Structure 1
């Protein structure tokens, strides 16, 4: 079993110059949580996820991290305190960021696989806690051929077990 056998072939992408507001609208109407981002030639240049878009409205500079380390703790425990004002901040963030191109908020360092990569390779990537990814584009020569989500892997494993 390789990536080609597991991938979803009909992949919806967004253009790198699409506005944040348009991508937010598209994402709100879909049952998935991210898009591959392509350039004018259709080559993969990034991925944008709900997490990337949420960061626009809750940027880390408005979160104050307070380390607290009292015995018997061996390591300090960090508490996050949101120092934003209220819903007004969210509305201001939306106004400030709505017309930005999605390339300004997307993740550029995209983890991908080749169509011939094995199930084990895909499992390693999607299960890696340091990567913390939910999907991996299947790419050939820079072009997206498909996408494999954690759901696709679970479906594949379930079908494989049912066939045994």
Structure 2
């Protein structure tokens, strides 16, 4: 009889411990680029300048357990997973603002990521912060486009990963 209660207690404690995954990322919006930003002087030459996104994405740090995670430190890493991509094209991302504190008390605690950084195939550090923050605006840009790449649709998936400190 005691053995059954002991097993029940161990099972209940392990169920509480397995709830370690508390932070999560949500994204809203879609990245689009305006082709009218292209400056082409002659066929076969590289395209001058960069193309920046004209619509953005907002990233939010959320948690199912608000009280345990509202002061949690975290880091965001970013990488891309190519579907159909030309390695000569550089995709870059930056954080354009600090977002909003979800409890509406004071400012946000967020650092780094305010200048464009290239998104590679391996995860790289993007920015860090503390607490639950909503609507962090992100901007993207394309660089090193060339007419020699030909007319094609290029597609890649951008992956954001959150780690708690």
| Higher strand residue share | 2
- Looking at secondary structure, tell me which structure has more helix per residue: 1
| TM-score, normalised with respect to structure 2 | 0.20
